[in-house]
Every structure is written in structure tokens, then in C-alpha cells.
Chains A and B, each alone.
Chain A
Amino acid sequence: MDWLIEPFMPLMVNGLIFFYQLFGNSFVLSLALLTIIVRLLTLPLMLPMQKSARKQAAIQPQIQAIRKKYAKNSQKQNEELMKLYREAGINPMGGCLPMFIQLPIMWAFYQAIVRSLAFEPGRLLFGLGKYIASSAAFSTLVPLNSRFLWLNLATPDQTYILPILVGLTTWLQQKLTPSTATASGGDDQAQAMSQSMTLTMPIMFAFITINLASGLAVYFIISNLVGMAIQFFINRAMPALQPAASPAGRPSTKVKTTPASEPAQIGSQRKSRVKSTSKRKGKGKRRRK
């Protein structure tokens, strides 16, 4: 995976050490500032995901209706879903692609933290040395001061305080982030899964953090806090779309009669599409006659 993160590594490592020097050899302050910068720089990649999630939440009733209607014809189901996405202006990959584009940046940042806190000779030489061994300004700063409060940032936190904070902030951030399943009033299974994820992820993160260098745990906490702040502003600037009304459990033909009160552009687009489908069906019947 080195080839994927390598383009970002020199910038991340040098950035961390530059801010470390700027803040009087404080690794945590450097980490905090760089986290804010990275989160803000990746914001343009995050916004389409948020928009996509909101739009998807709004058309969940139609999605459900299509799924039920074409439960036994997956090809038709996919065609109809794609049509729906197109009309709603949703790129089905729109939510995933930005996330995958962000991955190398986040991995590089993660690796930069690990390598900067190197305390074994091999990791210092091959890890950090690779990026700063020729830098006269940064070489004198090595090894970086890894002390913060009671922590040695290069080793796990034995008090379990950081893992708990990681779990807590991950949970809070998730609660702030709208989920397509819960926002739309999706089916019970989806909601249950969504709720399960909301609990599982913080626990998983907290559990993994127990054995990680506490510098990484500090990074997770800062990243979650910054993420929460960003999410707060996004939620204010981008209010949730109302789900298009489509009574669950009704026969699929009922989709045709989506109420005129259905809000937003998405609803009206869907309505017109369903009408035309209805016309086509009618024509087909006449032909058969």
C-alpha cells in the first residue's frame, strides 16, 4: 500500500514536524492543527457524500416501493432504482467515491503520526529518516518529544482513558451525522442495523485504540471533535430533505399515486416518471387487446 500513500507522506511528516517546531516542540498541538487543516482540505470531498446521503434519505420510500414491487426481478429492480437515482440527481457511487479518494490521505496522515513517534532504530531510520534525514532544520528535533500529560504518545495509554474518549467522541460524531436509514424511516431491519453500527463502531474503535500508540488515540479524539464541529455547520447549512411520502407495505402500484404534496424537486420528478410508466402500461394492455 506504500505506493498509495507515498505521494502524501513527505507533506504529512514535514507538516507535522514543522508545526511541532512552531508550537515549541508540542506534538499534540501540531497534531491538532494538522488535523484541522486536513479535515478542512478534505471537506470538498466530504460534502458530496453528505448531499448524496440526504438525497437518498429523501427518496427512501420510493426505493422501498421499487424493491417490493420488483422483489423477484432484480434486473428490473436495478433499472428502476437507477432511473430513480438519475431523476433525483443522485450518483449511486457519489457517496463512496469521495470516501475512497480520501483514504490515501487519511492513511498517510495516520502513518505520518506513527513514523514521527518512532522509538526503535529501524523505524526511526526507515520511517522518519526517509523524509527528514536530509533536512538540517528538522534533524535536530529528533527524537520528537512524545510526552503529553501522563502519556507517552508512542505507547498505549494504560489508564484506558483515551480509548474511552475515542469511543465516546466516535459515538457523538455518529449521532450528529445523519444516517440515510434512520432519517428516512427505512424498514426495521435497516434501522436496527444502523443503530447497531452506531454502537459497534465506537466500541470497535475504543477496543482497537487500547493497543495503539496513544498519539493515534489523541489523533482520533481530535479528528472526531473537528468532525463534530464541521458536521454541526454542515447540518445548519444543509438541512435534511423531507422523505418523499410513499406508504410502506402498499402494493407497488400505489407508487403511481404519490401525493402531490410530496415535497421538493425529487418528489415531482418521481411523480412524473411514474405517470409516464403508467401510460406505457396502459398502452401495452391496449395492444394486447
Chain B
Amino acid sequence: MKYTKRPALGLLFAATLLAIAGCTPIPQAWPGLAADGEAIYATLSGKIHALNPESGNEMWVFPNEPARKSGLGCSAPARPESGLFYASPLLTEEIVFAGSDAGKVYALNRTNGTQQWAFTSQAESEGGLSNLFSEKRNLSIIGSPTLDGETLYIPSADHSLYAVNATSGAKQWDFQADDAIWTSPLVAKDRIYVAAMDQKLYCLDKATRKEVWTFDTEGAIPSTPALAGDTIYLGSLAQQVVALDANTGKQRWEFETESWAWATPLVISDTVYVSEVNGTFFALDAKTGNERWRFNAQGRIQATPAYASGTLYLPSEDMNLYALDATAGTQKWQFTAPAALMSTPVVVSDTLYVAGMDNKVHALNAESGAKIWEYDPTPEK
């Protein structure tokens, strides 16, 4: 035993402390899916993958660059310059829009993935020394953009909602919340509803951009509100789901959950489906908020289920995708994936697509749950 043991061990202690802290296997986000009859678009960590819906064959990948090597240890993971894509892409007939944590929204050609334009979310700065000491905001684009006519509404973690021209990417105006905006704005008629992590739901007039009303949920809002008729349904980290009058912002009812109500509520007919992250899924009366039935998964539920032909497709962290009867809440079948399922599935005709936390995309028969194909983006293609 050398008598320089103390400093040497101290160094080892410090290095291990830092190394292990940087190696925590906590994912930053989850995959996103968008699909129609022509293609499936999946945001899998740092890239957007376009897949053939019939075969699962890759059509193109953006950005089309080889993976970069990691830095020292595991505290500096490889990441493309374009950033990591968190949210589901938004599709139009010709363009795929997707936002990244590098503060960029890309408009890509649907056919070949070529970039049409990119918008960069950037909080205004004065520059120089004052900029060095000014507030550093996270610029990530976490929620999907929303398209309304020629305007693309982009939520940003830099506290802004940007309105940009969907054809050119030129900024038209922006709205500032008091904290990050993680969710897609909801645009309906002449109103824009913006939920933010500052615990508020803002209702803006589309023409004047002025606040019509705000509703304080007392909990951060990580998901988009749902609108059905003249009622807005909204979940929050305050362990509650509320129904609001879309015109006035007045609360109609409140349903208390036992943990964070993260997922966007889903409204089908007179039932609103909500979940809490601890794994309980509820069917509520849309008018009163009274519980009709509940289903318990074995893992966390963060994503909104998909719905088609009377069946709800509910993904869970327990690696299962549950097919539930939307009326009775009974389980029809379940598909077990190799990894946690935290993303909203997509149903196109009789095929169900779901992506796991291992970045694999699965195509299933929506009736039986039988697997049709699986897409694995690794090794790098």
C-alpha cells in the first residue's frame, strides 16, 4: 500500500463520481410516429426515418450522416448537429415538419427527405458581455408543430410560441409564456390554445394574438389539450384532469388522479379517456367527469392511446400494447414489445404502428395484434 493512497483514491473517487453521474441511463425523450397510406415517419432519437408502410423498408433518413463518435466516457453521447427529435412529425401532402432539441424545425420533402427550409428558435439576445450573463433558455422543440392554413405554429422550450410561414419558414410573430412550451398548440376557429409548463393554459385570439383568457391548473402542463365541441380537456402535473369552457375558460369539472396526468386526453363520442403516469387508464363521462371504468397497466402510461373501430390501443412502460374495448374497457389482446412503449401508436386502415424505447418500429394487425414486420434502425443503415 503506497502512502500516496489518499490523493490517488480521492482522484479515483472524483472521477468515478462524475463518470457514473454522466452515465445514468435516463432517456431524454421517446420516439414519435406519423403515418398515412403512403409512408410512416418515425422520429427515432436523432433521426427521422421514412418507412414503407407495407414492408417496413427504409425509404430515407434525415439527417443522412454517419453517427458521430461519442466523447470521453458516456457523458457526451453522440448526437447529430441537427439535434435529437422528440415529437411526432407533422405531415402535409408534400412536407414533413419535425422539431429537434437543437431548437430547429425542419421542413423536409416527403418523397426524398431533402431539406426545404429550417427555422431556428432563438431567444433574442443583446450580444456581448450582457449576453454572457443573460438568462440561458433551453431552445428545444419538444412538441409537434401545428399547421393552420399557411401558418405553422411552433412551440418552444425557450418559452415562445412561434408563428412562421409554412412555405418559407419565415417568422411572422411570437408569443411569450412564463415557462417552456412543450406541447403542440391547439388551433380551432379563431382561437389558439397554448399549454405551458408555467401551469397555464393560454387562449389567444388568432387575429390579434391577444390573450382572451388564461386558466391556471396549479401544475405544469406537458401535453396538448383536447377539444371536443365547446369543451377543452386538459391534464397536468397537478394530478388532475379538468374540463373547461372553450369560450370563457371556466372550469366545468375536475377529475383527480393519484399521479401526474401527463397524456393528452382522448375524446371519443361522449367519453373522455385520460391516464395517470402511475399506470391507471380511465374512461370518464365527458359531460360530468364521472368515472365509467378503469384499466391498470403494470407500468407507467405517458402516451395517448390510438383509437380505431371501437378499440383503444394503449402503450405502456411495461412493454405491452393493450387493445381495449372502448366501451367496456375489457382487454381484447396485448402485444409485448422488447422495450417500453411510451409513444402514441398510429392506426392506418387495418395496420397498427408502434415504436418502442429501443427505437424499433412494429407493424401489427390491428384486429389480432399479430406482428407484420419490425424495423430496427440499428446498425446504422
Which residues of chain A have a CB within 8 Å of any CB of chain B?
1-2, 49, 53, 56-57, 60, 63, 81, 92, 95-96, 99, 103, 106-107, 110-111, 114-115, 119-127, 129, 133-134, 136, 139-140, 142-143, 147, 150-152, 154-155, 158-159, 174, 177, 179-181, 184, 186, 190, 193-194, 197-198, 200-201, 204-205, 208, 211-212, 216
Contact = CB atoms under 8 A, between A and B. Distances in A.
Given A126-B27, A133-B237, A180-B5, 19 more contacts: A1-B20, A1-B23, A111-B24, A121-B142, A121-B182, A123-B28, A125-B300, A147-B135, A151-B136, A152-B136, A154-B138, A177-B6, A179-B4, A181-B4, A190-B3, A190-B4, A193-B8, A197-B10, A204-B11
Interface stretch (B111-119, B216-224, B283-291): B216-224
A208 B218 contact: no
Contacts of A208: 18
Contact of A95 (B5, B86, B220, B278): B5
A53 B17 contact: no
* B11, B20, B21 pick with most chain A CB within 10 angstroms: B21
Interface string B234-251: 000111000000000000
Contacts of B7: 174, 179, 181, 193-194, 197-198, 201
Nearest to A110: B21
Nearest to B18: A208
A150 B134 contact: yes
B361 interface: no
Interface residues of B, number: 61
B26 A140 contact: no
B134 A140 contact: no
A120 B21 contact: no
A159 B132 contact: yes
* B4, B179, B180, B300 pick with most chain A CB within 10 angstroms: B4
A180 B5 CA distance: 8
Closest 3 interchain pairs by CB? A197-B7, A150-B133, A122-B27
A283 B197 CA distance: 85
5 contacts: A152-B136, A155-B136, A158-B136, A190-B4, A194-B7
B259 interface: yes
B32 to A, nearest CB: 11
Q: Provide the main secondary structure of the chain A interface.
A: helix
Interface in B1-57: 1-11, 13-18, 20-21, 23-30
B148 to A, nearest CB: 24
B26 A127 contact: yes
A143 B220 contact: yes
Contacts of A155: 136, 138
Q: Provide the main secondary structure of the chain B interface.
A: loop
Given A147-B135, A204-B14, A180 B3 contact: yes
A142 B220 contact: yes
Contacts of B9: 95-96, 99
B14 A120 contact: no
B146 interface: no
B6 A53 contact: yes
B262 interface: yes
Nearest to B75: A211
Interface in B69-85: 75-76
B15 to A, nearest CB: 7
